[in-house]
Structure 1
């Protein structure tokens, strides 16, 4: 089993944690922006199937 030889410094671990949080922040910001554009119908970058309720009700 691999064991680290020395303890990781606080600054290094804090840098890694900050970088991880920064990536998570930008990913959440991007997904929220995409969700907003889907709700308004202005999305050009995301392809999805749009189900029309009138057609579903007419089949029955």
Structure 2
């Protein structure tokens, strides 16, 4: 027969939630950093084809 588990303490719940939020923060920071390096053209770890715009040739 199924028995309900004991209730998780508030502090433990808060710790787990903060760890989960921090993972999202670091992922967003990495994504922003990659986007910034791509826009400036300094990316060394991301392969993509560069397109030459016609305005830069004029």
TM-score tier after normalising by the smaller chain length: 0.7 to 0.9
Q: Deviations over 1:12-49 (max 9, x none)?
A: 11000000111111110110000000000000011123
Q: 1:26 to 1:7 in 2, by over 3 A?
A: same
Tell me the equivalent position of 2:5.
Answer: 5
Q: 1:4 to 1:39 in 2, by over 3 A?
A: farther
Moved over 2 A (4+): 49-54
When the two structures are aligned, how many residues end up with a matched partner? 53
What's the Cα RMSD here? 2.1
Tell me the equivalent position of 1:18.
Answer: 18
Taking structure 1 as the reference length, what is the TM-score of the superposition? 0.73
Structure 1 segment 1-60 matched on structure 2, within 5 A: 4-52=4-52
Taking structure 2 as the reference length, what is the TM-score of the superposition? 0.76
Give unpaired runs (5+ residues) of structure 2: none
